[in-house]
Amino acid sequence: MLNFHKEHKNLVLTAGGVFIALSILIAILPAFQMQKTEPIPDEKPLTANERVGLHVYVSENCMACHTQQVRNIEMDKVWGSRPSIPSDYFYSKQRMDVWRQSPSLLGSERTGPDLTNIGVRQPSEDWHLLHLYNPRAVVSASVMPSYPWLFREVDSSAVNKGDKVVAVPKELFNKPGRKIVASNDALRLVDYLKYLKQTELPGGSVDAFIPALKKIQAERTEGGGQALDGGKLFSQVCAACHQETGKGVVGAFPPLVGSAIVNDANSEKLIRIIIQGYNARPDYGVMPPFGDQLNDAEIAAILTHERSSWGNAAPAVTVEDVAKIRQYVEMELNK
């Protein structure tokens, strides 16, 4: 028997041996295994700009509150269409520089939402910039800090052609003749946030990863028969900008309450705005198009909700109305 009490060598050698064995088992072998990771076929590499944004993300320590990992459990299903796999991180694996390893952005704190799929959930640059300038401008109860140092205040006359002016509501910034301009860091950070999209796995192989997938699909088809809930869809898709109250954010996203376009008995312009997006006024941001994300029935349900809520009282929009306008829009595009 080894005598640990009298022979210190035995103690040191045994502890040392166990330490080395465990290091090989839990650090070195997995590291070799990770080298074999390949990107998913459709996965896009980071562009130079997006990589700069990744560095800003790391230096601002956004991962203190945001994860980038969808776990294979029910409650994570809102953050992506499948659980994350090692290949998802292929392009952030590159070293940051000579001194620093690739950053681990999986995160462990989820004070704010998971950002794995934020590029899909929120593709609007205007929204992201205003949110970074002051999260309370778009999400009134947000506890996320503001990042004013990513923006510059300049004289209106000093705004250059390439500068991105941020549409900030008057309550937050009201100095006549002055404007808020996004810094290069802010723009690159938003490039990176818009890059964050879950890559679809090549057809069919999904099942192996997601036992819950069949259940999700079944729910979708079952739900398909029932009437769509326009209010719920509005909360999911539109409220981030136009707010749950429909009042919008003055100076950035227009109110839908009392809007002449929303209440117009002829719904053509309204439907076009949803399908094609809208950028009519310089004092507001840009509304992204939703034609690809929402089907005709969903658009009809959302618009009917908008036209009958918060005091608005206009006739319902039908699926046929939307289908007709979509056809016009497609015809115009094919000309």
Two structure tokens written together for 184: 């290069």
The whole-angstrom separation of Cα 304 and Cα 99 is 56
Q: Taking Cα atoms as reference points, which of 203, 199, 204 lies closest to residue 90?
A: 199
The whole-angstrom separation of Cα 50 and Cα 65 is 20
At closest approach, how far in Å is the CB of 298 from ligand HEC? 8
At closest approach, how far in Å is the CB of 95 from ligand HEC? 22
Q: How many CB atoms lie within 10 A of CB 96?
A: 14
Residue-level length of the chain: 335
Nearer to ligand HEC, 58 or 181 (CB): 58
At closest approach, how far in Å is the CB of 142 from ligand HEC? 3
At closest approach, how far in Å is the CB of 297 from ligand HEC? 13
The whole-angstrom separation of Cα 335 and Cα 324 is 17
| Site of interaction with ligand HEC (CB under 6 A) | 57, 60, 62, 64-66, 111-113, 115, 118, 121-122, 124, 127, 135, 139, 142-145, 147, 189, 193, 237-238, 240-242, 253-254, 256, 259, 261-262, 270, 273-274, 278-281, 284-288, 290, 302, 306
The whole-angstrom separation of Cα 54 and Cα 63 is 11
Nearer to ligand HEC, 136 or 206 (CB): 136
Nearer to ligand HEC, 9 or 170 (CB): 170
Nearer to ligand HEC, 5 or 123 (CB): 123
Exposure of 175 by Cβ count < 10 A (0-12 exposed, 13-18 middle, 19+ buried)?
Answer: exposed
Q: Is 160 left (phi over 0), alpha (psi -120 to 50) or beta?
A: beta
At closest approach, how far in Å is the CB of 150 from ligand HEC? 8
Q: Taking Cα atoms as reference points, which of 23, 3, 21, 22 lies closest to residue 11?
A: 3
Nearer to ligand HEC, 210 or 286 (CB): 286
At closest approach, how far in Å is the CB of 162 from ligand HEC? 20
Q: Taking Cα atoms as reference points, which of 238, 212, 222 lies closest to residue 75?
A: 212
At closest approach, how far in Å is the CB of 260 from ligand HEC? 6
Rg (C-alpha) for the chain, rounded Å, is: 25
Nearer to ligand HEC, 15 or 64 (CB): 64
Nearer to ligand HEC, 91 or 290 (CB): 290
Q: Taking Cα atoms as reference points, which of 226, 224, 222, 214 lies closest to residue 295?
A: 224
Q: Give the residue at shortest CB distance from ligand HEC.
A: 112
At closest approach, how far in Å is the CB of 108 from ligand HEC? 13
Q: How many whole angstroms from its chain centre is CA 55? A: 18
Nearer to ligand HEC, 201 or 256 (CB): 256
Dihedral over alpha carbons 217, 218, 220, 225 (to 10 degrees): 150
